[in-house]
Each structure stands twice: as structure tokens, then as C-alpha cells.
Amino acid sequence: MPLSSRYRRNILARRIREQEGRCLYCRRPFTAAGPTRPTIEHRKAKMDGGSDRVANLAAACLHCNRLRGRQMVGDRAKARAAARASLKPDRRERLPT
């Protein structure tokens, strides 16, 4: 279930206070607009079993949040390719002896 607007605003405000107004990853101060504006970040992605619980949420700047998302997509693609490669039968096993 997606986060409600009120819950999202409350959690974001709480995390910003707890993190002293700085991004969890790059530690730059948040701004009202632009790439350093605060966003909600799932520390453990929901697609990896993370939840919307407060303990799994943090405040990250938009830049870091997007960068982390792209890195995770790339890591998943590499993992899938490695898994596919390990499932392909070895040609040597098919040769008659």
C-alpha cells in the first residue's frame, strides 16, 4: 500500500529533524527546491522486501535518491545476467564421449 500524503509529510519532517537537515547519504543540507530537496528514501527497497515502517524510511536528497535507484537497477540486471549464465548448459557436457 502506498504511503498517504499526511504520513509521508510527517515522516519526512521527522527524519529531516533527526538528520539535522542533511541528506542521509551525501550529508549536504536540504534546500526547498532543486536536486538537494528532501525526499523519502526506503533504506531497504520495497521490491527487496523492505517496508513502509518508520525504521526503514530516511530523508535523502533527490539527487542521491535517484542515483541510488539507478544503481540498484544496474545491480539487479547484473545479478539476473549472472544467474542466466549459470543456468546455460555447458557445451562440453553435450558432446558424446
**Helix (H/G/I), strand (E/B), else coil: 27:** coil
Residue 20 in any domain: the answer is: yes
Residue 97 in any domain: the answer is: no
Residue 47 in any domain: the answer is: yes
Residue 41 in any domain: the answer is: yes
Residue-wise pLDDT tens digits, 12-62: 999 999 999 999 999 999 999 999 999 999 988 888 888 989 999 999 999
pLDDT of residue 89: 59
Q: How many domains does the chain have?
A: 1
Residue 95 in any domain: the answer is: no
Question: In terms of pTM, does the model score above 0.85?
Answer: no
Residue 9 in any domain: the answer is: yes
Q: What does the alpha-carbon distance between residue 94 and residue 65 come to, in Å, rounded to a whole number?
A: 47
Q: What does the alpha-carbon distance between residue 72 and residue 86 come to, in Å, rounded to a whole number?
A: 21
Greater confidence (54 vs 76) lies with: 54
Domain encompassing residue 55:
5-86
